Amino acid sequence: MDTLFRALSDPARRHILMALSEGPATVGQLAAPLDMSFAGASKHVHVLVEARLVEKRKIGRTQVCRLNAAPMRDLRNWLDQYSRFWSDRLDALESAVKDYENDRH
């Protein structure tokens, strides 16, 4: 989970993931809209590969990257626990406010 959060913490890496959600791309194609060098983009892709969010395949001399969204499922499940927690807390707060308002009238 720490590796996922680290990978997602950078805006350039999030941009790369969004680009890959539209289909496979080379590192050069991913670097172009970011106004970033090939080496810079390659470092970001490496972090995403370590987090298993991106898979790379070599075709000739070209590295083609593809999104692997499966690790985000675990992250979403973890976050959903907190969503339910806050939803329950906010429901309880709403109920308490309504009870307070009813008691005042």
Asked whether residue 87 carries a pLDDT value surpassing 80, the answer given is no
pTM: 0.75
What pLDDT, on the 0 to 100 scale, is given for residue 6? 94
pLDDT, one tens digit per residue, over 29-86 is 999 999 889 999 999 999 999 999 999 999 998 999 999 999 999 888 888 887 777 8
CB 16 within 8 A of CB 33: no
Token couple for 91: 């429901």
| Distance between CA atoms of residues 76 and 81, nearest Å | 9
Asked whether residue 91 carries a pLDDT value surpassing 80, the answer given is no
pLDDT, one tens digit per residue, over 3-39 is 999 999 999 999 999 999 999 999 999 999 998 899 9
What pLDDT, on the 0 to 100 scale, is given for residue 29? 95
Q: Name the E strands within the chain.
A: 25-26, 54-59, 62-67
